[in-house]
């Protein structure tokens, strides 16, 4: 028998143990071992079978090392059909997580028990796939159509007690899992329990309109993605076809997903996220500093969101602001956010109260004397930041990590304001910081290895996705935004409307168009940043003129009720404003620009290839360790569609040569300097 699967008799129960660390993935060896064990047990002295796993978890899914390789027999659907067809009852005992093929394995068993701490789920949709081993057919028969659709289209795990309520498992086990599961199997035998095939259970009654409803909802929530729609079709097949026919539908649509560019993109992101957490030149045994308390300077929206991120992870926070009035406003923002989380059902009231109690306020820097990490989150004034860091030098204990949340500023210059530059690092959170998952970890020239290692690890503690960036203006994400927004603004002045630019990008897959993003962020943000730069560093004046005019008029975006659009004060719904079109036309005439009709395809290519071209420079300069890091930044921080895999993966998918040719075309049409192909792009396109 396979070394990854063990078999032994315990009383009348044949115990099949999967032992394939670290997560008992369904590798070829595991599949072979399970098939051999179940088949052999049909003719031995056992009266029942128990499938259980050693180590920290039940089967947590497919073997990721087999992704992209030709499948080898035994195929998982065939294995699970063999398990379900056993003439002896089969019990699955779950601990840790039963995910993907792991849960499908459990659903093929006849009875299921789990520790209360266990979680189960079918996360394939997050890889652009669907459960391909009967999960879409067995789950609705056991849990009902709505529960199955929610579970499979979200990809999110649920706890064992919820799974029990839904009928996905039959029993919560207290105590030692193996002993209790074996005892339960013996009880089932004593009770004369029969083989109970999930495939033969009738689907519980459901609302006839549920499938159309989910299709419409998913068309908005997962715009353009094929896997969620295929999942609905599979679950619907479970209600109106035989189990065998439903499996055929599932197999056909699974293969359609598997060969799609969308799944390739999402699988790329799966691996890129794990790779981004690794620092190439940082030894694996680098020690980490303890972070058991945090101080945050600046109690605005950003500072409050950062405070919540740490408090939600159980880490006490001291929030510092300039005076009592400012501090009260900051804490009120925190209270409002926790209240909203409770109201939306995202957080239990008791949990919210516990987290809120971890956040205390102060106007005295001395309150930071014993914290392990300080994060400065004041507005983007470089001199103010340097002053704050110089002050922290005299206040904070030796070994405290000093971090800046700056979006653009030079972290090396900020570090130089202290006598401990090795303790200084950039931690660029994204707004709203208590929700957005991305964290750019900015490594300055003198940042100590243990500071970097600590912050990369700490990011995971507060449930962020860390990506390391080197020091440059705007780091990875905001630096790349410059050509993106430049081209959006140039498209406006050359002939497009705000609505056309936004719709083109949103139809392509961006979560929000660039003009709406500018209104949401505040037009004054970019205006102030430009005004702080020397004139020769402000870029093409045509690309900022309309935004500058709006800012000088006090039209700052949503917060003032008008920017590129006008906004309903209650719903914040936007409407087009003819006055803005007049401004655009006037400024175009002032520059001598004859406005024209611009195809949506040109808008998309200019904005996206602008991102890619700058991304190439960022990789070449070593600001990002690898192209996949840029993809993670843009998917988690900037609303880039997961189904396209990030800007750098997208460039690979459409073809680097095509990107290069289009960039060269834009260089000829729109400007030699702005569209100069990055050397790395030239190299890759001509190899």
Q: Is residue 631 part of a domain?
A: no
In this structure, what is the dihedral angle of CA atoms 673, 674, 679, 684, given to the nearest 10 degrees?
-140
Among 469, 503, 525, identify where a domain stops.
469
Which tokens is 396 given? 């904070």
Tens of pLDDT, residue by residue over 458-485, are 999 999 999 999 999 999 999 999 999 9
Among 421, 439, 469, identify where a domain stops.
469
Q: Is residue 281 part of a domain?
A: no
Helical pair 261-276 and 647-654, crossing angle rounded to 10 deg: 140
Q: Reply yes or no on whether the pLDDT at 529 is more than 90.
A: no
CA 260/CA 240 separation, integer angstroms: 27
Tens of pLDDT, residue by residue over 15-33, are 999 999 999 999 999 999 9
Q: Binning pLDDT at 50, 70 and 90, where does residue 202 land?
A: very high
CA 196/CA 42 separation, integer angstroms: 16
Average the pLDDT over 234-244 and give the result.
98
Q: Are 320 and 326 in contact (CB under 8 A)?
A: no
Q: Reply yes or no on whether the pLDDT at 491 is more than 70.
A: yes
Give the best-scoring range by mean pLDDT among 35-44, 59-68, 666-675: 35-44
Active site residues: 104, 124
CA atoms within 13 A on the CB side of 211: 14
Which tokens is 511 given? 């979560």
Q: Are 177 and 194 in contact (CB under 8 A)?
A: no
Judge if 112 and 232 occupy the same domain. yes
Judge if 443 and 587 occupy the same domain. no
Does 22 sit behind a cis peptide bond, omega within 30 degrees of 0 on the bond before it? yes
Q: Which domain holds residue 365?
A: 294-469
Q: What is the pLDDT of residue 539?
A: 83
Q: Is residue 278 part of a domain?
A: no
Q: Are 147 and 85 in contact (CB under 8 A)?
A: no
| CB burial of residue 220 (10 Å; 0-12, 13-18, 19+) | exposed
Among 204, 235, 258, identify where a domain stops.
258
Judge if 117 and 220 occupy the same domain. yes
CA 289/CA 278 separation, integer angstroms: 18
DSSP letter at 568 equals -
Q: Is residue 274 part of a domain?
A: no
SS3 labels along 70-119: CCCCCCHHHHHHHHHCCCCEEEEEECCEEECHHHHHHHHCCEEEEECCCE
CATH number for 253: 3.90.226.10
Number of domains in the chain: 3
CA 488/CA 298 separation, integer angstroms: 32
Q: How far is CA 224 from CA 38, 209, 234, 510, in A?
A: 42, 22, 18, 11
Q: Reply yes or no on whether the pLDDT at 531 is more than 90.
A: no
Judge if 113 and 182 occupy the same domain. yes
Q: Are 408 and 283 in contact (CB under 8 A)?
A: no
Average the pLDDT over 600-614 and give the result.
98
Q: Reply yes or no on whether the pLDDT at 82 is more than 80.
A: yes
Contacts of 658 (CB under 8 A, 6+ apart): none
Adjacent-strand bridge partners of 439:
429, 466
CA 647/CA 265 separation, integer angstroms: 10
Q: What is the pLDDT of residue 536?
A: 79
Judge if 406 and 539 occupy the same domain. no
Q: Which residue spans within 103-246 are E strands per DSSP?
A: 111-115, 119-121, 158-159, 171-173
Q: Reply yes or no on whether the pLDDT at 171 is more than 80.
A: yes
What are the counts of helices (DSSP H) followed by strands (DSSP E) for the chain?
A: 28, 19
CA 617/CA 687 separation, integer angstroms: 17
Q: What is the pLDDT of residue 282?
A: 96
Q: Is residue 267 part of a domain?
A: no
CA 244/CA 396 separation, integer angstroms: 67
Q: What is the pLDDT of residue 1?
A: 62
CB neighbourhood size of 212 (10 A): 11
Q: Closest Cα to residue 667, out of 656, 678, 657?
A: 678
Judge if 251 and 303 occupy the same domain. no
CA 86/CA 418 separation, integer angstroms: 70
Judge if 333 and 239 occupy the same domain. no
Q: Is residue 649 part of a domain?
A: no
SS3 labels along 579-590: HHHHHHHHHHHH
Q: Is residue 399 part of a domain?
A: yes
Judge if 99 and 224 occupy the same domain. yes
Q: Closest Cα to residue 53, out of 14, 81, 104, 94?
A: 94
Contacts of 43 (CB under 8 A, 6+ apart): none
Contacts of 457 (CB under 8 A, 6+ apart): 288
Judge if 45 and 132 occupy the same domain. yes
Q: What is the pLDDT of residue 380?
A: 86
CA 429/CA 437 separation, integer angstroms: 8
Which tokens is 98 given? 């039963």
Q: What is the three-class DSSP state of 405? A: coil
Q: What is the pLDDT of residue 525?
A: 84
The alpha carbon of residue 680 and the mean position of all alpha carbons in its chain are separated, in whole angstroms, by 28
Please state the pTM of the whole predicted model: 0.93
Mean of the per-residue pLDDT values of the chain: 96
DSSP letter at 287 equals -
Judge if 458 and 487 occupy the same domain. no
Unique residue bearing structure tokens 């979680």: 119
In the chain, the percentage of residues whose pLDDT exceeds 90 is: 92
Judge if 251 and 328 occupy the same domain. no
Which tokens is 279 given? 């620092």
CA 26/CA 18 separation, integer angstroms: 9
Adjacent-strand bridge partners of 360:
318
CB neighbourhood size of 161 (10 A): 14
Higher pLDDT, 386 or 531: 386
CA 173/CA 340 separation, integer angstroms: 35
CATH number for 596: 1.10.1040.50
Tens of pLDDT, residue by residue over 552-588, are 999 999 999 999 999 998 888 999 999 999 999 999 9
The alpha carbon of residue 537 and the mean position of all alpha carbons in its chain are separated, in whole angstroms, by 34
Judge if 496 and 537 occupy the same domain. yes
Run of H or E including 572: none
Q: Is residue 263 part of a domain?
A: no
Q: Reply yes or no on whether the pLDDT at 68 is more than 80.
A: no
In the chain, the percentage of residues whose pLDDT exceeds 70 is: 100
CATH number for 346: 3.40.50.720
CA 93/CA 113 separation, integer angstroms: 5
């Amino acid at each position: 028998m396979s070394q990854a699967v063990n078999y032994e008799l315990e009383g009348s129960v044949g115990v099949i143990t999967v032992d394939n660390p670290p997560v008992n993935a369904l590798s070829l060896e595991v599949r072979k071992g399970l098939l051999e064990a179940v088949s052999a047990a049909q003719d031995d002295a056992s009266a029942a079978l128990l499938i259980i796993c050693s180590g920290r978890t039940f089967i947590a899914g497919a073997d990721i090392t087999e992704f992209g390789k030709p499948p080898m027999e035994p195929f998982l659907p065939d294995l699970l059909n063999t398990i379900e067809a056993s003439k002896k009852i089969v019990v699955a005992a779950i601990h840790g997580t039963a995910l993907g093929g792991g849960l499908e394995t459990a659903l093929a068993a006849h009875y299921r028990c789990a520790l209360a701490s266990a979680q189960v789920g079918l996360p394939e949709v997050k890889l652009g796939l669907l459960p391909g081993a009967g999960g879409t057919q067995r789950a609705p028969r056991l849990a009902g159509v709505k529960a199955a659709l929610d579970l499979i289209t979200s990809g999110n795990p649920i706890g064992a007690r919820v799974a029990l309520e839904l009928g996905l498992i039959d029993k919560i086990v207290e105590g030692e899992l193996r002993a209790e599961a074996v005892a339960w199997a013996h009880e089932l035998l004593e009770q004369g329990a029969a083989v109970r095939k999930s495939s033969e259970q009738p689907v519980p009654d459901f609302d006839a309109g549920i499938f159309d409803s989910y299709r419409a909802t998913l068309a908005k929530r997962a715009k353009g993605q094929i896997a969620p729609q295929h999942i609905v079709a599979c679950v619907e097949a479970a209600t109106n076809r035989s189990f065998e026919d439903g499996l055929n539908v599932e197999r056909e649509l699974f293969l359609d997903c598997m060969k799609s560019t969308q799944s390739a993109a999402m699988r790329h992101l799966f691996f890129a996220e794990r790779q981004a957490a690794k620092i190439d030149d940082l030894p694996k045994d680098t020690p980490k500093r303890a972070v058991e308390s945090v101080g945050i300077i600046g109690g605005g929206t950003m500072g409050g969101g950062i405070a919540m991120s740490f408090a939600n992870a159980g880490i006490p926070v001291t929030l510092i602001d300039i005076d009592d009035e400012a501090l009260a406003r900051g804490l009120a923002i925190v209270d409002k956010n926790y209240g909203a989380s409770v109201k939306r059902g995202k957080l239990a009231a008791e949990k919210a109260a516990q987290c809120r109690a971890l956040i205390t306020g102060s106007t005295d820097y001395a309150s930071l004397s014993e914290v392990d990490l300080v994060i400065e989150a004041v507005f983007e004034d470089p001199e103010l930041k340097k002053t704050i860091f110089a002050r922290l030098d005299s206040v904070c204990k030796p070994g405290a990590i000093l971090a800046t949340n700056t979006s653009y500023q030079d972290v090396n210059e900020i570090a130089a304001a202290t006598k401990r530059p090795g303790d200084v690092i950039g931690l660029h959170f994204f707004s709203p910081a208590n929700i957005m998952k991305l964290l750019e970890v900015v490594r300055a020239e003198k940042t100590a290895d243990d500071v970097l290692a600590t912050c990369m690890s700490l990011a995971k503690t507060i449930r962020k996705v860390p990506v390391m960036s080197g020091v440059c203006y705007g780091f990875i994400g905001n630096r790349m935004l410059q050509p993106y927004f430049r081209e959006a603004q140039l498209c406006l002045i050359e002939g497009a409307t705000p609505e056309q630019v936004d719709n083109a990008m949103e139809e392509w897959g961006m979560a929000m168009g660039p003009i709406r993003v500018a209104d949401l962020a505040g037009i004054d943000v970019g205006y102030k940043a430009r005004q702080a730069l020397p004139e020769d560093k402000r870029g093409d004046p045509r690309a900022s003129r309309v935004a500058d005019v709006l800012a000088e008029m006090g039209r700052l975006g949503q917060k003032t009720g008008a920017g590129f659009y006008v906004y309903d004060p209650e719903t914040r719904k936007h409407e087009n404003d003819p006055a803005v079109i007049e401004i655009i036309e006037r400024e175009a005439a002032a520059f001598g620009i004859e406005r024209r009709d611009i195809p949506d395809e040109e808008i998309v290519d200019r904005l996206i290839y602008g991102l890619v071209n700058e991304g190439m420079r960022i990789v070449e300069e070593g600001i990002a360790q690898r192209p996949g890091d840029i993809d993670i930044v843009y998917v988690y921080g900037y609303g880039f569609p997961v189904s396209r895999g990030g800007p750098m993966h997208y460039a690979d998918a459409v073809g680097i040569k095509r990107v290069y040719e289009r960039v060269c075309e834009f260089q000829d049409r729109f400007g030699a300097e702005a569209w100069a192909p990055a050397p790395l792009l030239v190299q890759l396109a001509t190899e």
